[in-house]
Chains A and B, each alone.
Chain A
């Protein structure tokens, strides 16, 4: 079974802090994704990566950056946290190559910015 592990289930940070959310997958997947989930809006893609050191912006990249130094790890960075970044963050991974393979999700990190 694919395992996608997010470092924290709950996180509380203060406005202006630099925040790191970590995600690790154990299935050697090429593609990894970061989404945020807000009530009534579904999941929205922040960034994704299709290879080590490769990244592309999703639909809502503003205020975020990402890092993929190793294939199994994909980090989301809030450069200067703001209250409107309070949300549930979900990481996912999928097999690369020919696309459209199902994404496998972590349990999510519920982030509160005070």
Chain B
């Protein structure tokens, strides 16, 4: 069975600090996708990034960066120079295939990490 673990339940930082959110996954698939979503207080999950299992290049988007390491089954997310608007719940998720090999994009989510950035 697929599993995603976000060991950090809550993180609290002061504005302008860098913060890393950890994500560890388990899967038997050789082809899979990993995602990060942000859930602000308004409730709607916002898609941040998708990474496939064959692409281990790190990605940077503004203050956000992602470090994908297949060797340790981790897909960590770093926010540089955090801001109050980054306060949210962040979810890491893994996309699985059905037994027949078809993927409908079903997601297995981690428990989420609550990030609070104080001014």
- Is B71 an interface position by the 8 A CB rule? no
Shortest distance from the beta carbon of A37 to any chain B beta carbon, whole Å: 8
Alpha-carbon gap, A112 to B67, bound state (A): 39
Q: How many angstroms between the C-alpha atoms of A58 and B108 in the bound complex?
A: 10
Contacts of A105 in B (CB 8 A): 37, 44-46
Assess whether B105 is in contact with A94, with CB atoms less than 8 Å apart: yes
Known: A106-B44, A108-B43. A40 touches B107 (CB 8 A): no
A81-94 near B? 1/0 per residue, CB < 8 Å: 00000001010101
Q: How many residues of A contact B (CB 8 A)?
A: 30
Residues in chain A near residue B64, CB distance under 8 A: none
C-alpha gap A42/B4 in the complex (Å): 10
Asked if A101 lies at the interface with its beta carbon under 8 angstroms from chain B, I say yes
Q: How far is the CB of A5 from chain B (nearest CB, A)?
A: 11
Shortest Cβ distance from B8 into chain A, in angstroms? 13
- Please tell me if A45 contacts chain B, counting CB pairs below 8 Å: yes
- In the complex, A50 has a CB within 8 A of chain B: yes
Complex contact A31–B105 (CB within 8 A): yes
Does B95 lie at the interface of the complex (its beta carbon under 8 Å from any beta carbon of A)? yes
Taking the complex as formed, is A16 at the interface, i.e. its CB lies under 8 A from any CB of chain B?
Answer: no
Tell me which residues across on chain B come within 8 A of A101, comparing CB atoms: 105
A-B contact pairs, 20 of them (CB 8 A): A40-B9, A42-B4, A42-B111, A42-B112, A43-B91, A43-B107, A43-B109, A45-B108, A56-B104, A90-B45, A92-B45, A99-B104, A100-B50, A100-B103, A101-B105, A102-B47, A103-B105, A104-B47, A105-B45, A108-B44
